[in-house]
Amino acid sequence: MSPPGVRAFVGLGANIGNPAAQLANALEALDAAGVLVAVSGVYRSAPIGPEQPEFLNLVAELAVFDGPYELLARCHALEAAAQRVRRERWGPRTLDVDVLLFGDVEMHDLELQIPHPRLHERRFVLDPLAELAPELVTLGQLSAVADQDCEYVGTVELLHQLATASPGQRQD
């Protein structure tokens, strides 16, 4: 049985500071808010844009009782809690949280676009989304991004192990 609320998906990624801890903290905050339904495995991917460390990525399924703009505000609050600074497009980040899908809503304005406009172009989003909701991802979409560097590294429990690794093992 599906949980009540609108079925929504957010993509989370991080590549500076302690990415595993930042992702784990964001998931804990979503869980504490009572909206977290499921979490994909963790994926490592090459960055898009300027030279920077690899990303850890995952997708979370949510049951949302507010509207899409409220979900966007929640995503921005998670980023702020991780001390995200927006310096350059596609630059390194402590935490990036994007609204991917929000029920069957389609919207295209300057502040928010649903579905996420580049969802179908990014293997680091499609692979974890396909884990949680295979009916939402086509084989054609997966084939189109098959050459992108993206590797499954483990279940979400891995985040907690990585988050507590010694500082010398962290990506800065």
User: Which among 96, 122, 123, 127 is annotated as catalytic?
Assistant: 96
Residue 172 lies in a domain: no
DSSP, residue by residue, 93-133: -S-EEEEEEETT--EE-SS-EES-TTGGG-HHHHHHHHHH-
pLDDT at 162 over 50: yes
The residue with greater pLDDT, 55 or 172, is 55
pLDDT band at 169; cut points 50, 70, 90 = very low
Split at pLDDT 50, 70, 90, the class of 119 is: confident
Span between the terminal Cα atoms of the chain, in Å = 42
- In this prediction, residue 29 has a pLDDT band, given cuts at 50, 70 and 90, of very high
d(CA 11, CA 23): 10
Rounded CA-CA distance 8/112 in Å is 14
List the domain range (segments joined by +) for residue 107.
6-161
In a domain, residue 12? The reply is: yes
Which helix or strand (DSSP H or E) is residue 70 part of? helix 68-81
- Residue 72 in any domain: the answer is yes
In a domain, 171, yes or no: no
Hey, what's the torsion of the CAs at 85, 13, 44, 20, to 10 degrees? 80
pLDDT in tens, 9-22: 999 999 999 999 99
- Specify the CATH number for the domain of residue 142: 3.30.70.560
Catalytic residue among 74, 84, 122, 123: 84
Q: What is the C-alpha to C-alpha distance for residues 118 and 21, in angstroms, rounded to an integer? A: 26
Q: Is 149 a catalytic residue?
A: no
Please tell me which residue, 91 or 69, carries the higher pLDDT value.
69
Active site residue 98: yes
pTM above 0.75, yes or no: yes
Would you call 127 a catalytic residue per the annotation?
no
Given the residues 31, 66, 86, 98, select the one marked as catalytic. Answer: 98
Q: pLDDT tens digit string along 57-90?
A: 999 999 999 999 999 999 999 999 988 777 767 6
Q: Describe the crossing of helices 19-32 and 68-81 by its angle, rounded to 10 degrees.
A: 140
Q: How many domains does the chain have?
A: 1
One DSSP character per residue, 36-69 reads EEEE--EEEEPPSSSS-PPEEEEEEEEEESS-HH
**Active-site option among 31, 44, 86, 93:** 93
123: in domain: yes
The answer to which of 28-42, 69-83, 132-146 has the lowest mean pLDDT is 132-146
Catalytic (active site) residue 93? yes
Residue 1, in any domain of the structure? no
Residue 166 placed within a domain: no
d(CA 39, CA 45): 17
Residue 122: inside a domain, yes or no? yes
